Structure 1
């Protein structure tokens, strides 16, 4: 099938209210002259994941992130490699953070939480959540659950003695204190995200909110996996495979 048909089936999964914003946060970055029979999914577009796509005989990559602007020259290098291997690439960023099957809602579901409200709005898209447990749990129990889910160690800071009932969540990069501030204002007992810096930790301590930090990549994996599986449901003849990524983020903290 054509790449354009696959993209149409992906786009049909989303409730697009602002086409301009949606187009700026998703789309094809490289289209090869090749029919699509096999799609590979992962969170990041990197030279390593492109190589994984080649190894798995993938015709098209579907990722959450495009190559990061902050990694100078990476996008050009990835497109060159995609062209060499004849592999198309599509990404979907903030719309996947916002939607009901995306990064945040998928992790909420894995944690057995119930969503209270969508938070962290940008241009009509919400990239955070407040959610609650039916019964309170200990912080260390939540930490263990996170490590089992992400299959990597996570960092945690205990800044109050309360059990956990209400959770603030921003999958990916919720390190800025303005993101944490919204969780504080929603009276969350713990804030979970995939990035942190000195200010994140000090602000959490200042406000007395517990903090759990996974990795940017693996807090968002379940969302892109959910997208790929929904695509498979819609196109029965399509083969879908997960492309492996390194857990190096967990080792640099």
Structure 2
């Protein structure tokens, strides 16, 4: 199957309301001149995940993140390596955060939370959620559940003694205090995200809201896996495999 056909199948599962932003936040970064028989998925495009794709015999990678511009020179190095190995690459960022089968929604389902509200809007896309439990749960129990799901340590900071009923979630980088402010305004008991900094922690303490911080990578893994499994269902002749990534972030928190 050719890359163009796979991308059309990917686009078909999204409800695209803003084509301009969708095309800026997703797409092919490198197209190899060969058919795709095996597709590999992971969160990040890095030299290490490209090596993993080569070792697994992958013809095309699907990731949540493109190579980060902030890591100077990485994007060019990745394109060079993809070309060397003849591996195509597609990423889908903001639309996968927004959609009903993406990063936020799938994590909420795994936590047995019901979405109450889509939040954190940017150019018509929503990269956050407010959700609720049927019954209140203990904060430490929720943190433990997150560790089990992500298969890595999480940072949990308690700034109130309440049970958890209402949860604010921003998968990925929800460290900016503007992100936390929206969660506070929605009267959440805890904020779950994939990154934090000093301002995040001090603002949470100031507002008396608990924090659970996973890693940017693995808090978003379930969304890209969901997309890959949809492709697996829709394209029977396509083999789909998970590409392993290291848990570097969890080790430095």
* TM-score, normalized by the shorter chain, greater than 0.5: yes
With the length of structure 1 as denominator, give the TM-score of the two structures.
1.00
Residues 1:52 and 2:43 are matched in the alignment: no
Q: Which residue of 1 aligns with 2:88?
A: 88
Large movers: runs of 4+ above 2 Å: none
Distance in 1 (CA, whole Å) between partners of 2:232 and 2:12 is: 13
Q: CA deviation at 1:123?
A: 0.3
Q: Alignment RMSD, CA only?
A: 0.3
Residues 1:25 and 2:25 are matched in the alignment: yes
Q: CA deviation at 1:49?
A: 0.2
Q: Which residue of 1 aligns with 2:15?
A: 15
- What's the CA shift string for 1:118-168, capped at 9, x where partnerless? 000000000000000000011000000000000000001100010000000
Q: Which residue of 2 aligns with 1:110?
A: 110
- What's the CA shift string for 1:91-131, capped at 9, x where partnerless? 00000000000000010001000000000000000000000
List runs of 5+ in structure 2 lacking aligned partners.
none
Q: CA deviation at 1:3?
A: 0.3
Residues 1:136 and 2:111 are matched in the alignment: no
Distance in 1 (CA, whole Å) between partners of 2:161 and 2:86 is: 55
Distance in 2 (CA, whole Å) between partners of 1:124 and 1:15 is: 12
Q: Which residue of 1 aligns with 2:40?
A: 40
With the length of structure 2 as denominator, give the TM-score of the two structures.
1.00
Helix, strand or coil at the partner of 1:35: coil
Residues 1:252 and 2:245 are matched in the alignment: no
Helix, strand or coil at the partner of 1:216: coil
Q: Which residue of 2 aligns with 1:145?
A: 145
Q: CA deviation at 1:57?
A: 0.2
- What's the CA shift string for 1:33-76, capped at 9, x where partnerless? 01001000000000000000000000000000000000000000
How many equivalent pairs are there?
Answer: 253
Q: Which residue of 1 aligns with 2:174?
A: 174
Q: Which residue of 1 aligns with 2:237?
A: 237
Q: Which residue of 2 aligns with 1:67?
A: 67
Residues 1:163 and 2:141 are matched in the alignment: no
Distance in 2 (CA, whole Å) between partners of 1:161 and 1:53 is: 45
Helix, strand or coil at the partner of 1:127: strand
Q: Which residue of 1 aligns with 2:101?
A: 101
Distance in 1 (CA, whole Å) between partners of 2:226 and 2:18 is: 22
